[in-house]
Structure 1
């Protein structure tokens, strides 16, 4: 049984959502050489989950949040389901709990699980200074953070991509 539930309280969701949006907007100001790029579907792989857990350990953190930023968590997800489009993943949760959380029916609408209904998503440590953002339209995601986490991640995860010269993050 999945031990992870959607975030129900606005007071818990808002600080995470605000942090994710601030971090997303900041991406346009970060040099492309200070970011690591990956395929936006990597969130569904064990190796990417292992990267998230390894970065937490490396930085001395235990928990992280996964949030869907689009569709709008307020006018769409909360309006229809009375909860927010995000989860907090605690150290005691298993790998299976993580993957099941993305597939969880928010309430009478399996097609609205976060995996099927997420155009933009973010993953962020609680607490921490690295940030994962992906946009499925781009078919690309980015990892940002301080140089030590970028170096650690580059050495841990063999599937980072070269986005090409023409790829630009737009706000």
Structure 2
């Protein structure tokens, strides 16, 4: 489990809400997903499942800076054309001791400039019509991708809440 700390190094109490960012990174009608890896010294949730690229918002960052940093760190890809797609504030995560408020962006992959980090064991581009089975997708990311596929069919106002 990730232990959250405040800027003064005090450990955050369970039950707090955290801001996270994730990106639906698109290239040639395919979405980039990372296979979550076990990380020595951390208890990572949903390991060995495919996930959107993202993570926790850092102090002093804007949302755009956070999502660009997370995508670069975890995948090595630069992105542009970011658009806030969904704000997911679903409190129904019984395996977690906190509620994440997740800002999900769409983005276009422009250039891979480095390799993925230790939190990802493999990166893969999936066609939108050939995603991994739902039980192999981490967190609410399958729902995010289903909403994105629906969004491509019918225009709705963004961002999507909930």
> Do they fold alike, i.e. is TM over 0.5?
no
Shorter-chain TM range is: under 0.3
Determine which structure has the larger helix proportion and give its number.
1
Specify which structure has the higher proportion of strand.
2
TM-score by length of 2: 0.25
Please report the TM-score for the alignment, with normalisation by the length of structure 1. 0.24
